[in-house]
Structure 1
Amino acid sequence: MILIITHKEDYTVDYIVNILNDRKIDYYRLNCEDVFKSKFLVSNDLLPKIHEKSNFKSVWFRRTRLPDLSAIPFHERNYLLNEFDSLLKNLFALIDAKWISEPYQIYKAENKLYQLKLAKEIGFNVPNTIVTNSHSEIKDFYNQNSCQIIVKPLSQSIIHNENNSLEHIFTNLIDKTHIENLSNFDLTPCIFQEYVEKDFELRITVVGEKIFVAGVNSQTDEVAKIDWRKGKLKFYETEIPANIMRMCIKLVKKLDLKFGAIDIIKDKKGNFVFLEINPNGQWVWIENETGLKISEALIDELL
């Protein structure tokens, strides 16, 4: 049996579940926000049972979400949320199965600076990068990179606004006005990188030993030139050199993952430049636009 760890609004899981149902493959979906509604048990054998199920052969770890306890007083809510979080972590640690991928490794792999470190060790080209709260260091970095640098989040790029709806923080250029007025701002944690002139961009999805390469012509749309997510461009299946494929698979393995979604630029000089890897990234839209059989590879890996 496959255990799927997720929440109710994970539409990527919905997509896979439909396929599993069609193929009559046995699975159990744990929506983590309902963990207190699902019967769980850990006894002396330390084999966790979730909804009376324990014979999990593989686990697909997607997302966690804690229960909505907004009606409970603040101090009690914090205590209970910490306890629910600890319960999930304890349950996961006891499940002896094949994971795609193990939660600890995913959380570690989400560290963007750690990603850059490993990518450089493997042999990828990576942009000049700094993370600093020093105004003078940023000004120097701006000048050293021909006044062409970008800023992007150090962690996640999605936030909840005051209406509790989701908004994206995109990659943006730093211009002369920003630098001239830099002293007026406190510097929050973020990544500054040299701006790489792009030919096109790649999303490379690795599942086990299989690799799926999709491209997007981001430079054909003025809105999407800096960050392709701002536009509405269609991805297409493409190819990359064998050595880049090997490095992508090696990076995923080095991060102790079974899955990774890698963002790479092909620059104007023909170089492939690593940006980052999402250890639990989205991919359904790529499969739908390109026909790449990512879901099939994922299910095969779980089986």
Structure 2
Amino acid sequence: MDRIHLIVGNSRDYHAVAVQWAIRRMGHEAIIWDGLAADPHGQMSIAYENMSPLRLGPRLFNTFGSVWFRRQIPFQPIGSVHPDARSFLIQELTDAHLSFCASVESMSNFVIGGQRTRCASSKSYQLRIAQELGFKIPRTLISNNYADVMAFTKGAERLLVKHFAPHYFISRSTGAVRAVGPSVIRSEHLSPEKVEVCPCIYQEYIDKIYELRVTVIGSQIYTARLSSNVGELIDWRPAFGSARLDVEPFKLDRATDSRIRQLMARLNLPYGCIDIAVDRSGENIFLEINPGGQFLFIEEKIKEFPLLRAFASMLIAQSCDFQVNIDGRMPIDIDEFELSPEFDEWRVAYDKNASKNPKFVTFVE
């Protein structure tokens, strides 16, 4: 039997469950690991002699074909524990999760995510490498020094302020969830108290006509053009899923295609989602790459992009060089997935958790 493919994430994540379904539909085995927990399915053992090296729940493993570190949950909610020991236990669980990840990487032929993405996920590092490869990037400052920030704002009518990672706030009184996204501000909105509390990413505001979402799956590149039909496009994410945003296929020019392939090689990434802005002059401006970005929302809008099949094919091939075989007799796409019993099971679990926990919200990354 072929080696099992492992998804380190959680079984309530749409992407994880869809990819597991696709791998199984293509005749291979995949499992999802939900993280450490006291219950039998969350127990782990790493052995070094006289046993199989790794236990995940009730199963023992010697090797994996591929591993995809999706949305990792290091550990499940902690049960009854003395308050004085809680911080110690959290640190121990976090470190144990890192040991698990290192072991899994060493046991796998092909890895997406994991340790290699730590440096590649750095916004400042991405921008530096992209610039070295010939991409134009926005004028950028990462700082919490008020004098440096104010000097940076001189001559800029509007600034874009960005955060380092996806985040959201929850109202304690209403339970309403608000996502943190890029904000357009003016220099007069800044004060030492606001700037010095935490470094932010400050960039010149780009008057763009559209954005490109470039999904790189191994050697395959799929590009979508995202444009607003109701005015300027600051950030396409809040508008996604509405009639305000148009999504259509786009063909990259040869130079940009080449730079993207060089970028993936320099960052040592087999997979990533790249955001590129196109300004009024038609120039491509690199914004960022997300090594763990979502991609199935693009397939939902552009049915001819076989993103689910391509991603599953790469994991099965355990290589960036793979063939996406489109077999009409056995469709593997999100429409077919959403007709499956696996989707029905996911939907029930998702609805149950969403109703119990206001934090259980999915944002496009």
After TM superposition, is the score higher than 0.5? yes
Q: Which runs of 4+ in 1 moved over 6 A?
A: none
Q: Deviations over 1:49-108 (max 9, x none)?
A: 322133311111102112201643344222222222222222221232133424111222
Residue of structure 1 in register with 2:167 after alignment: 158
Residue 28 (structure 1) aligned with residue 31 (structure 2): yes
Gaps of 5+ in 2: 317-365
Preserved CA contact (<8 Å) 2:226 2:246: yes
Residue 79 (structure 1) aligned with residue 88 (structure 2): yes
Residue 301 (structure 1) aligned with residue 327 (structure 2): no
Would the alpha carbon gap of residues 64 and 165 (structure 1) be closer, same or farther in structure 2, given more than 3 Å must change? farther
Q: For residues 1-303 of structure 1, what are the structure 2 equivalents within 5 Å?
A: 1-34=4-37, 37-38=40-41, 39-45=43-49, 47-50=53-56, 51-65=59-73, 66-69=75-78, 71-95=80-104, 96-144=107-155, 146-153=156-163, 155-163=164-172, 166-175=177-186, 177-179=188-190, 182-183=191-192, 185-187=194-196, 188-218=198-228, 220-222=229-231, 225-231=233-239, 232=242, 233-291=245-303, 292-303=305-316
Q: Distance in 1 between matches of 2:134 and 2:61?
A: 44
Letter in 2 for 1:24: G
Q: Deviations over 1:140-199 (max 9, x none)?
A: 22223x32321010x2132242447653111111125415xx246343221000111102
Q: Work out the number of aligned pairs and report it.
A: 297
Letter in 1 for 2:109: K
Q: Secondary structure at the match of 1:253?
A: helix
Q: Deviations over 1:180-239 (max 9, x none)?
A: xx2463432210001111021011011111111011113x234x6211112132422111
Q: Distance in 2 between matches of 1:33 and 1:8?
A: 13
Gaps of 5+ in 1: none
Preserved CA contact (<8 Å) 2:153 2:187: no
Q: Distance in 2 between matches of 1:62 and 1:269?
A: 37
Preserved CA contact (<8 Å) 1:5 1:64: yes
Q: Distance in 1 between matches of 2:273 and 2:311?
A: 13
Q: Secondary structure at the match of 1:58?
A: strand
Identity percentage of aligned residues = 25
User: TM-score scaled by structure 1?
Assistant: 0.89
- What is the root-mean-square deviation of aligned Cα atoms in Å? 2.2
Q: Secondary structure at the match of 1:131?
A: strand
Preserved CA contact (<8 Å) 1:70 1:77: no
TM-fit CA distance, 1:284 = 0.9
Q: Deviations over 1:212-270 (max 9, x none)?
A: 1011113x234x62111121324221111111112112212211111110000111111
User: TM-score scaled by structure 2?
Assistant: 0.75
Q: Distance in 2 between matches of 1:67 and 1:228?
A: 33
